[in-house]
Amino acid sequence: MRIGELAKLTGCQSETVRFYEQKRLLPPPVRSQANYRMYDASHAERLHFIRRCRSLGMSLGEVETLLGYQDQPERSCSGVNALVDHQLSEIDRQILELKALRTELSTLRARCDSTRPAGQCAILRELTEHA
């Protein structure tokens, strides 16, 4: 299949396919006599894998690491487990930061209980004082 077909099949843009090729996450496809990139099912499978990892918040480096394990199925998966454990820790950290941010914004919002002219806005005053 050509790049447009692969992109459509995997739900991404052709530029994304080229980007992953450039980063060496996707192996280079064979070229047709007309010099078109020609992909096969293994490219689609790998691209689905990459996109799934990215949707789980993994960096390109982490995706590359996981692809290394996938390409060497005889290796121990302890590194895969460690990578996912690290990702879980990062998510827990982000959740704590977001909860703190929400609390701060809620406290800020509670400073203003009515609509006033902007010059008398307690939220704007608070933001200015703690800048």
The domain limits of the chain are 3-130
Residue 69 contacts residue 79 (beta carbons within 8 Å): yes
Tens digit of pLDDT at every position of the chain (131 positions): 999 999 999 999 999 999 999 999 999 999 999 999 999 999 999 999 999 999 999 999 999 999 999 999 999 999 999 999 999 999 999 999 999 999 999 999 998 888 888 888 889 988 998 76
Domain 3-130 has CATH 3.40.50.2300: no
Give me the amino acid identity at 124.
Answer: L
**The pTM is what?**
0.80
> What is the C-alpha to C-alpha distance for residues 47 and 94, in angstroms, rounded to an integer?
27
